[in-house]
Amino acid sequence: MKDINELTFADDVKYFEDHEWAKLENDEAVIGISDYAQDQLGDIVFVELPQVGDTFEKGAEFGTVESVKAVSELYMPLGGNVIAVNEQLEDSPELVNNEPYTGGWMIKIKPANAAEIEQLMTKEAYLEMLKG
């Protein structure tokens, strides 16, 4: 595992305490896991994601990520309706390790309440939590 100073934390996303991130793009939100989360998991070998059309409350489990070390649940940083899943992860789950904020995104949702993003942490607050 890397030292926290070697990890990348995107400035343009908000962080959830379970290590997912969300980024609003117009009226959609893109969701993935942080560089810290993927580093803790190790090499990711499988990602199980929901179906387009599924609806989840904030904090609900929406999938799992399996690494060589463990299986970890994925939790919704915002409530909403799934409008897209990253199908590239089916054949290339390592994108989550290599590009956690870009090519390794997991789902896109239509948020039920876009204001929920204001309850998530900034990069600075997330780093404070990790150093906690």
Q: Tokens for 54?
A: 């599924």
Q: Is residue 132 part of a domain?
A: no
**Residue 109 belongs to a domain with what CATH number?**
2.40.50.100
Task: Give the containing element (helix H, strand E) for 96.
Answer: helix 95-98
Predicted TM-score (pTM) above 0.85: yes
Cα–Cα distance between 73 and 68 in angstroms, integer? 15
Q: Is residue 122 part of a domain?
A: no
**Nearest to 59, CA basis, from 72, 76, 74:** 76
Cα–Cα distance between 87 and 85 in angstroms, integer? 6
Per-residue model confidence (pLDDT) at position 115: 93
Per-residue model confidence (pLDDT) at position 103: 97
Q: Is residue 104 part of a domain?
A: yes
19-65 pLDDT tens trace: 999 999 999 999 999 999 999 999 999 999 999 999 999 999 999 99
70-92 pLDDT tens trace: 999 999 999 999 999 999 999 99
Domain enclosing residue 21, as ranges? 4-114
- Domains identified in the chain, total number: 1
DSSP state, 104? T
Task: Give the containing element (helix H, strand E) for 109.
Answer: strand 107-111
Q: Is residue 66 part of a domain?
A: yes
Per-residue model confidence (pLDDT) at position 55: 98
Q: Is residue 121 part of a domain?
A: no
Q: Is residue 93 part of a domain?
A: yes
CB-CB contact of 77 with 16 (8 Å): yes
